[in-house]
Amino acid sequence: MRNNTIGSLIWLRLSRFVNQSNQMSNEFLKRFGLTIAQFDVLMQIRIYQPISQMELADKVTVTQGGISRMLARLEKEGFITRRQDWKTKTISLTANAESILEIAFPEQAAFQSSFFDEVLTEDEQALLHNLMARVHKHSLKKEVPPE
């Protein structure tokens, strides 16, 4: 760790936090019969429905193949419906999924917020949010260096 830059230490800490947070969220969301990946997909569908599979894949951190398998499972479990609109298949939530998300979303949001609310002041949270927004915006412009 002697040769790490502060930037690499921040990245390592963020990676570990996200991994730990996702593991805890998976455990937390079991009460709703969901994983964090399924929750994310259902929330994106909820916001943008009806949405195409391609649009959905762009909004979540699941591969195109992974999204196909996940959607098949969510459809089988009665969380989504898929409808063919000419060349495009659109995805919408079922009433069952809507009712689960009505309860799951505020509980998951409170759970995730607690990581910050319990240790950071409102000013510190605002500063962290602004800094992470700047880093994220910059990362969208960044290109992978050639080999």
Q: Which residues of the chain have pLDDT under 70?
A: 1-2
Report the side by side order of strands in the sheet with 51-52.
51-52, 88-93, 80-85
The reported pLDDT for the residue numbered 2 is 66
Q: Which residues pair with 37 in a beta bridge?
A: none
Structure token digits, residue 33:
């019969």
- pLDDT value at position 84? 85
pLDDT in tens, 20-61: 999 999 999 999 999 999 999 999 999 999 998 888 988 887
What CATH number matches the domain at 20-108, 3.20.20.70, 1.10.10.10, 1.20.1630.10, 3.20.20.100? 1.10.10.10
* pTM (2 d.p.): 0.83
Residue whose C-alpha is closest to residue 91's, from 33, 44, 59, 58: 44
One-letter amino acid for residue 17 of the chain:
F
Q: What span, in angstroms and rounded, lies between the C-alpha atoms of 144 and 34?
A: 34
Confidence (pLDDT) at 132: 95
What pLDDT is recorded for position 43? 96
